[in-house]
Amino acid sequence: MGKTIAQKIIAAHLLSGEMVPGSEIGLRIDQTLTQDATGTMAYLEFEAMGVPRVRTELSVAYIDHNTLQSGFENADDHRYIQTVAKKHGLFYSRPGNGICHQVHLERFGIPGKTLIGSDSHTPTGGGIGMLAFGAGGLDVAVAMGGGAYYITMPKMVLVKLSGKLSPYVSAKDVILEVLRRMSVKGGVGKIIEYGGEGVKTLSVPERATITNMGAELGATTSVFPADEITREFMAAQGREKDFVPVAPDADAQYDEILEIDLSALEPLVACPHSPDNVKTVRELAGLKVDQVCIGSCTNSSLRDMLRVAAILKGKVAHPQVSLAVAPGSRQVFSMLADSGALTDIILSGARVLECACGPCIGMGQSPNSGAVSLRTFNRNFEGRSGTKDAGVYLVSPETAAASAITGVLTDPRDLGADPAIEMPAVFSVNDNMIVPPATEAEAESLSVVRGPNIKPFPVTEAMEESIKADCVLKVGDNITTDHIMPAGAKILPYRSNIPYLSKFCFAVCDEAFPERAKAAGKGIIVGGSNYGQGSSREHAALVPLYLGIKAVVVKSFARIHCANLINAGIIPLTFKNPEDYDKIAEGDHLRLPDVAGRIARGEPVILRNKTSGAEFELVAEFSERQKDILLAGGLLNYTREGNL
């Protein structure tokens, strides 16, 4: 039987396990990336392992999230990351060089290679034919040290594309259609692979937009073939020597097939507060718009920016609209300037932002209260914009530009003829903002600089034989990592300071939670389905660890967050019978008797509610390695015991 693209790459990198869906496999990782919101903690963890130099083919540290320097904290973290990178063998992408996923696609991505990044949108690399995964910082640290990356072998889904996109319909509309059909949890336990004749009509930047937002499906990753279009993109970047063709076998077998006719699609919009709450733009046309933000790792490529500039050319943003545009990389920014397109954007009244994540992560550009904000980003979770009562709508660059001009949500097809753009045959390459590492000999004399905001990794302890703790919080379905550990300009500077960060844990759901958890000393959190969707930020596990959370009991978990809980030594458990969720109330006194023994033996865990008298089974299905990590009190303890 033939193999899919993902199965081929997995087979070539398999270090342990069997490629049977549902079983644990260990993969050799070729490349890693970090960004500064998660990177500081990842490098603290790497240093704690005692490995002197990274052992991957390539590792890159990017500065793109915490770039608003309103205090010393972010600048200190940047300096720490830069000195760690220099000493331990990583390339360092300086602030202003661009968003990690955009730059990595341009300058480092190689088809057929494996990549993990401490950012959930690392699957962007699938647009160039990589098998790229979002992961927690500890997993990235282990991979940098030469260890395997462990996942559950996914099922394979083929999205078969036919036809060609109509004028003003874009790649963003393709992934919104996939989200509309599959939902934010429809990709859990699956790799989404794109094929069919329609693939040949999509450029690499368009493919990358689609794989980027595959993260919102809950998918393990997404991937496109590496074909002649990929080769042309890499040649334009001066990297044709790195091109390797990647394609599925003709007789590859898929667990599911989803067919999409590109020519039948129309402009779409994801409504608040979920990326799968998708409607056509026509359905909501005329909705008053207060803000338009164009950029993020999803839609900040040169192609996207040239499309926006062509639509804005000779026009001015509506007086009631605040328009912001952020190119994804310095390469994109400079080429916009050289072509004159940047002038068209500036003259439209747009506020041109630096090449960084910016508003997407809540780092500035918060909309006015009660605003309608159109964004070309990947997430529209409640409060993520920095304005709790704002409604964020996810749209394509074309829809965003058209709406910025009219002041209302506008189908771009109403603008008339689609302005043509011409992509350059050769990109402007200048890597002088990427700092190479020191040689091993030079590194011996280098020191790492730490600022006062950088605090140690939370203390972890081996699992207790039995756990007695109260339910300190009960939440519902689709709790995101933004609910657990919010982003934004006020909080992100403290990503390396877990004690301070703990003040904001679950503030979106319950502002009293941090103090209640600290007062309890130890606690258990209860939740619904798809708990922990969204970002890969391990802080959503490390902060609850600091607050004494011993276990999280839910109906189902998002993949990365479940792994992060295990890495932190917090036990992720699921209800055997979902209706048992209703048998626990916040404040109930709970017991997990013989929990360590039951997990070690592979038995169901028993939960006793001493308040109500209820007793029922919880599912505790872990691999032998995961059991050992949990029993040791987390991945860092496990690694220190010599298990790299």
Please pick, among 77, 119, 173, 290, the residue that the annotation labels catalytic: 119
> Which of the following is catalytic: 13, 30, 65, 301?
65
User: 3-state DSSP call for residue 431?
Assistant: coil
- Phi, psi dihedrals of residue 30, rounded to the nearest 5°: -85, -40
Let me know: does 567 contact 629? Beta carbons within 8 Å. Answer: yes
Active site residue 55: no
Find the angle CA(258)-CA(562)-CA(532) to the nearest 5 degrees.
Answer: 75
- Quick check: is 94 catalytic? no
- Annotation says 119 is catalytic: yes
Check if the beta carbon of residue 35 is closer than 8 Å to that of residue 491: no
Residue 523 host element (H or E): strand 523-526
Report the half-sphere exposure of 180 (CA within 13 A, side-chain side). Answer: 18
Q: What does the alpha-carbon distance between residue 474 and residue 131 come to, in Å, rounded to a whole number?
A: 36
Residue with tokens 């007062």, as numbered in its chain: 519
- Rounded Cα distance between 494 and 503, Å, is 11
Identify the CA nearest to 137 among candidates 269, 203, 46. Answer: 46
Nearest-angstrom CA–CA distance, 594 and 464: 9
Query: Cα-flanking dihedrals φ and ψ of residue 317, to 5°?
Result: -60, 145
In whole angstroms, give the CA distance from residue 483 to residue 504: 10
Selecting among 13, 307, 537, 598, the annotated active-site residue is 537
Q: Which backbone phi and psi does 146 adopt, to 5 degrees?
A: 100, 0
Cis peptide before 589 (omega within 30 of 0): no
> Collapsing DSSP states into helix, strand and coil, what is residue 11?
helix
Compute the C-alpha angle 383/99/500, nearest 5°.
Answer: 45
Residue 330: active-site member: no
H/E element, 189: none
| Catalytic one of 13, 36, 59, 64 | 64
In this structure, what DSSP letter does residue 419 have? Answer: P
Q: What values do phi and psi take at 279, rounded to 5?
A: -135, 170
Active site residue 239: no
Distance of CA 234 to the CA centre of its chain: 24
CB-based contact 444:432 (threshold 8 Å): no
139 belongs to the catalytic site: no
Helix (H) or strand (E) holding 139: helix 137-144
- Catalytic member of 78, 207, 379, 561: 379
**Cα–Cα distance, 363 to 420 (Å, whole number):** 33
Least Cα distance to 99 among 295, 275, 285 occurs for 295
The dihedrals phi and psi of 398, each to the nearest 5 degrees, come to -65, -45
**CA–CA dist 585, 261 (Å, integer):** 47
| Catalytic residue, candidates 120, 274, 535, 556 | 535
- 498 close to 523: Cβ distance less than 8 angstroms: no
Give residues with Cβ within 8 angstroms of 10, minimum separation 6.
Answer: 19, 25, 27, 131, 153
Q: Write down how long the chain is.
A: 644
Q: What is the DSSP string of 34-77?
A: E-HHHHHHHHHHHHHHT-SS--SSEEEEE--SS---SSHHHHHH
Q: Which residues are catalytic?
A: 64-65, 119, 379, 535, 537
